[in-house]
Structure 1
Amino acid sequence: MAGVLAADPTLADFDKAYPLWVHIVKAVMLFLFLMLGVVFGVWFERKLISRMQNRYGPNRAGKFGLLQSVADAIKMGLKEDLFPRTVDRVLYLLAPVIMVVPAFLAFSIVPFGPMVNLFGVQTPLQLVDLPVAVLFMLAMGAVSVYGVVLAGWSSRSPYALLGGLRSAAQVVSYEIAMGLSFVAVFLFAGTLSTSEIVAAQEQTWYVFLLLPSFLIYVVCMFGEAARIPFDLPEGEGELVGGFQTEYSSSLKFALIMMGEYLHTFTASGIAVTLFLGGWRAPFPISLWEGANTGWWPVLWFFIKFVLTFSFIVWVRASLPRVRYDQLMSLGWKVLIPVNLAWILLVAGVRSVVINDSRMISLAVTGIIVVGALAIWMRFDTVNQRRKEARKAQVEAEFEELSNEPAKGGFPVPPLDLPHYHRVSRP
């Protein structure tokens, strides 16, 4: 690509025959980053939510409560591991593993920095890259839902089974919307490789060029990671604990919690990589010539990663859980149609830039925009009519029951009763 720094890795750099120890060192570094990230991420989330709610949070185990997550891990490791009698033991044990392993694999395609000198070897600061790296991430996210479904089914509990089915339906709907939000990025970058997508954002981050795609991805990110306000597979208010109801606070439960956190980390890392410039320095730091070389980009990536994770925590502390029908309606009736219209618009704009027949492209783009607006207005009108009809129906039913206590309603006095003034006694 024109204008790309020499330090930027490409797909060809991952085909080189590096020594085996280089891959082992990078894999260990990634593993330590994720494991320590889970430990300190739990502490950070507790402290941040506590400050938002005007309380201290963990402040007993270690300085500032830093060892609270370590204490929780020790407790889970030493607690008695219980097995309900009716569970399918093989699948019951396998489900937490299926939730954790794909999360580790999905993070392997996230670039942390450019070409660096790792103990005398020039190598990309990324474990692996593929021509279809983003599709690999989506595939790992889809595989992890099998762990949730198997956890619910193997528990032989109605609450756990309902939680697993909810997770399956939720992932199917939001996986489609998330995949569509990446299409605009592919059209602009011309590749599905994460390292080359970061290289394509040298001049402008895609969060500015493709803001609707970014906003749709943010919503889908909560649905994919099952975080509040979309944590319906757990829903303790209605499903006790959802798919993890029958898992005691032991190592299996710890693996489930680790899997959820790792999926949150993966969603944050993909957001930084595809829309926030990856490891590239923000303006005005990017004006410094050495900002995007060496090990400095690791710092920029980490700052963006922490800010994205803080936004996820902020949403958890601010918004309540939605109803399940609202969750599914948002995915199928809003996110997917808007995504399709936006992709058509982006494709039209790209054809204007690339092709010579600009008048035809402009006409096609105009037709797409007008058609999308017409569909949206039609959808909004029909939705408003349905709401008004439903409201009128509820009011009519309420009035009928109020006036007929024999049918189970409550006797409500009419509103036009005469008003009697209180007469004071002499």
Structure 2
Amino acid sequence: MFFSFISFVILVVAVLINVAFFTLLERKILGLSQFRKGPNKVSYGGVLQPIADAVKLFLKEGAWLEKVNTKVFMLAPGLALGLSLLSWSALPLNILEFDYAFLVLLLVMSLGLYPVLLAGWASNSGYAMVGGLRSVAQTISYEVSLSLIFLSYLVLVCSLNFTAMSELTRTPLVLLTAGIFILWLISGLAETNRTPFDFAEGESELVSGFNVEYGGGGFALIFMAEYSSILFFSAMSSLLLGLGAPMNSGGFMGLLAVGYFWVWARVTLPRYRYDMLMGLAWKGILPLSLAVLSFVISVM
């Protein structure tokens, strides 16, 4: 048990380091897409820019509003990052092996909406509260579809453990998963509040949404939680493609490819309207995911 705990701590440190340099990769891609260089001043090629940003944010003095619920306001960012990092324990990384990893992941994902709601409520700001409520509605809507998409894969591999998914590409059943994977990517973009579904932080109408009152360390923790979730969904996507966990070369390359897709979507796609987003969830992706699950069960 002690060695499992130490291994999980090492995993957390590795994820946080990857989060830092994934933000650098994103800023480089955004710069190239807009015909500019991106970060290039701090050390060689801007490699240490994420470290400089982290030091700046955590040393920055926080601004406290008069009517903020202080305890909840301080708790929400740490809780968001903790739940985001805990979701990594469901992956088959030979650290914490769960026989029912699917249920563990659903539990952690369902708890992930509470920090957003708490942050919006405790800020005592209209913009933050609206952003939190919109994020909760969006997350709940797409978690239903994500659960059904997961179930389709689990029915194919006949297991609740994600380790069996690495065997999926060695069977003819992989032909059934192309359409399911597209639904997974769309739902993953919405679940992580990324463009074109970033309504929880829509700068044009919410002035950054639920985290508008956060600065310094609190903002940094929320920022890290978001990018940890992006990397987790990229790793899970690699697993669903049958490339394996990020511990091997195929899984790592799959993680990079899907991570690049997340950044590409931010560069390329315009933001949806909120009513179109909810309509897509309940009238588009949910019926399709139900139909796919029914078809997979009938085939098996």
TM-score class, shorter-chain normalisation, is: over 0.9
State how far apart, in whole Å, the 1-side matches of 2:252 and 2:13 are: 14
Query: Is 1:60 the equivalent of 2:26?
Result: no
Contact 2:100 2:160 in 1 (8 A): yes
Q: Give the counterpart of 1:270 among 228, 231, 236.
A: 236
Alignment map for 1:279-290 (pairs within 5 Å): 279=245
Shift of 1:30: 0.8
State how far apart, in whole Å, the 2-side matches of 1:204 and 1:256 are: 40
Q: Give the counterpart of 1:230 among 197, 203, 226.
A: 197
Q: Tell me the SS of whatever aligns to 1:85.
A: coil
Q: Give the counterpart of 1:176 among 144, 151, 154.
A: 144
TM-score (norm 1): 0.68
Shift of 1:204: 3.9
Partner of 1:30: 11
Partner of 2:273: 323
Q: Structure 1's 56 and 320: CA in aligned 2 closer, same or farther, altered over 3 A?
A: same
User: Quick one: which amino acid aligns to residue 129 of structure 2?
Assistant: L
Partner of 1:185: 153
Higher Cα Rg, which structure: 1
Partner of 1:130: 98
Q: Give the counterpart of 2:28 among 47, 50, 53.
A: 47
Contact 2:91 2:245 in 1 (8 A): no
Q: How many residues align?
A: 300
User: Quick one: which amino acid aligns to residue 137 of structure 1?
Assistant: L
Query: Is 1:167 the equivalent of 2:167?
Result: no
Shift of 1:25: 4.2
State how far apart, in whole Å, the 2-side matches of 1:298 and 1:38 are: 19
Larger relative contact order, structure 1 or 2 (CA cutoff 8 Å, min sep 6): 2
Alignment map for 1:7-406 (pairs within 5 Å): 20-21=2-3, 23-112=4-93, 126-198=94-166, 200-201=167-168, 203-204=170-171, 208-248=175-215, 250-279=216-245, 298-350=248-300
User: Quick one: which amino acid aligns to residue 34 of structure 1?
Assistant: V
Shift of 1:202: 5.6
Q: Tell me the SS of whatever aligns to 2:199.
A: coil
Gaps of 5+ in 2: none
State how far apart, in whole Å, the 2-side matches of 1:306 and 1:71 are: 24
User: Quick one: which amino acid aligns to residue 2 of structure 2?
Assistant: L
Shift of 1:142: 1.6
Shift of 1:85: 0.7
State how far apart, in whole Å, the 2-side matches of 1:135 and 1:182 are: 11
User: Quick one: which amino acid aligns to residue 234 of structure 2?
Assistant: S
Shift of 1:205: 8.4
State how far apart, in whole Å, the 1-side matches of 2:106 and 2:83 are: 10
Contact 2:168 2:174 in 1 (8 A): no
* Residues 43-78 of structure 1, C-alpha deviations (whole Å, 9 max, x = no match): 000001211222111010111111111111111111
Contact 2:165 2:242 in 1 (8 A): no
Contact 1:52 1:317 in 2 (8 A): yes
Q: Which has the higher helix share?
A: 2
User: Quick one: which amino acid aligns to residue 57 of structure 1?
Assistant: G
Contact 1:129 1:195 in 2 (8 A): no
State how far apart, in whole Å, the 2-side matches of 1:279 and 1:87 are: 42
State how far apart, in whole Å, the 1-side matches of 2:198 and 2:171 are: 34
Shift of 1:148: 0.3
State how far apart, in whole Å, the 1-side matches of 2:173 and 2:244 are: 10
TM-score (norm 2): 0.95
Gaps of 5+ in 1: 1-18, 113-125, 281-296, 351-426
State how far apart, in whole Å, the 1-side matches of 2:106 and 2:21 are: 26
Shift of 1:186: 1.3
State how far apart, in whole Å, the 2-side matches of 1:87 and 1:205 are: 56
Q: Structure 1's 278 and 150: CA in aligned 2 closer, same or farther, altered over 3 A?
A: same
User: Quick one: which amino acid aligns to residue 322 of structure 1?
Assistant: Y
Contact 1:100 1:144 in 2 (8 A): no
User: Quick one: which amino acid aligns to residue 55 of structure 1?
Assistant: R
User: Quick one: which amino acid aligns to residue 295 of structure 2?
Assistant: L
* Residues 287-333 of structure 1, C-alpha deviations (whole Å, 9 max, x = no match): xxxxxxxxxx6222211111110111011110011110011000000
Shift of 1:275: 2.8
User: Quick one: which amino acid aligns to residue 343 of structure 1?
Assistant: L
Contact 2:234 2:259 in 1 (8 A): yes
